[in-house]
Amino acid sequence: MIRMPGKKKNPLWRSFGYAFAGIWTGIRKERNMKIHCTALLMVVIAGIAFRITVSEWCICIVLCALVMSLELVNTALEAVVDLVTEEKKPLAKIAKDTAAGAVLIAAIASVIIGLLIFVPHIAGWFIQS
């Protein structure tokens, strides 16, 4: 980031505050972010219920963070595009659609990997019963 001469950088705690404000805004205003938070809650509940391994927890945490981070980036990109133009422009559409596509790819991969992690635990639960 380029700073103007003589301008001090914000304290670190303020930078964290801005980041948390951005996360909270995404959760409050974006339907898809609410869906991702619900999925995260379900993964945590299932992880506790099935006593997944530390490695499985790490995979789940990284995937949830990836999807939610991409959703926030997608939201930011859409806001910037909307700020720049209200007209329907082909480049604006490409920017919005490709960002949404990145979220979708990560979400699909996360679901597939989640199934690979949780289906054996679910199957084992039925076999033991």
The whole-angstrom separation of Cα 12 and Cα 125 is 47
Decide: 114 and 60 in contact? Cβ < 8 Å.
Answer: yes
Of 71, 78, 86, 87, the catalytic one is: 71
Q: Quick check: is 86 catalytic?
A: no
The whole-angstrom separation of Cα 63 and Cα 61 is 5
Decide: 37 and 27 in contact? Cβ < 8 Å.
Answer: yes
The number of residues in the chain equals: 129
Residues designated as active site:
71
